[in-house]
A and B are shown apart, each in its own frame.
Chain A
């Protein structure tokens, strides 16, 4: 049982390049989330999904797109990376039941030059 895994762990991009971050969970959780973590700003929700085939915007969605084609995977895409997207990205998942914790992945450190 690997829990929540994220690929890649580190990535350096040039401004304007695109990339996709992959999140996978093996706990059969319905809900999945993408956050970004920046110094002094805590964790901010980018997009989330309440089930396969569904996605919704969070607090800071601009510049990102997501897809949930399979229940166990949640992809975060950057179409044209900007230096402001330099951050640590975390994926999380949780079962549909109330009062359940969100399980976080180990994070992806992204630098945009």
Chain B
């Protein structure tokens, strides 16, 4: 059972465009929502994260939008660059019990020139 649903599976965006990746969850016990970025042949690395008590968090060109009532959150990449081409995973965590993360299935982003 996939507790965090991520879409789209793949995405092609032109350089300078906006990339949007969406995630939805069901478990209201989730209390922390990170996004990880993974380049080919590498391990995932934290990109940006949000807690459910805020609706938006911005770090440079990356923004998380969070809708608690809809149980949805999304990653927006502004002014997308070829160097942003990677796989992006959303995740959700339940406090306690080892701080385990449940990951979405990933979105492969390609930014074309």
A and B interact: yes
Contacting pair B51 A104 (CB below 8 A): no
Contacting pair B100 A45 (CB below 8 A): yes
The 8 Å CB contact of B89, one of A42, A50, A58, A105, is: A42
Contact flag A56-B89 (CB < 8 Å), given A90-B43, A99-B49: no
- In the assembled complex, the CB of B91 is this many whole angstroms from the nearest CB of chain A, namely 8
Contacting pair A104 B45 (CB below 8 A): yes
Q: Interface 1/0s, chain A 79-113, versus B by CB < 8 A?
A: 00000000000101010001111101111000000
B32 surroundings in chain A (CB, below 8 A): 98-99
Contact flag A102-B103 (CB < 8 Å), given A42-B89, A43-B89, A48-B98: no
Contacting pair B105 A41 (CB below 8 A): yes
Task: Tell me the A1-49 residues at the B interface (CB within 8 Å).
Answer: 4, 31, 33, 40-45, 48-49
Q: Give the interface of B toward A (CB within 8 A).
A: 6, 9, 32, 34, 36, 41-46, 49, 51, 89, 95, 98-106
Q: Give the interface of A toward B (CB within 8 A).
A: 4, 31, 33, 40-45, 48-50, 56, 58-59, 90, 92, 94, 98-102, 104-107
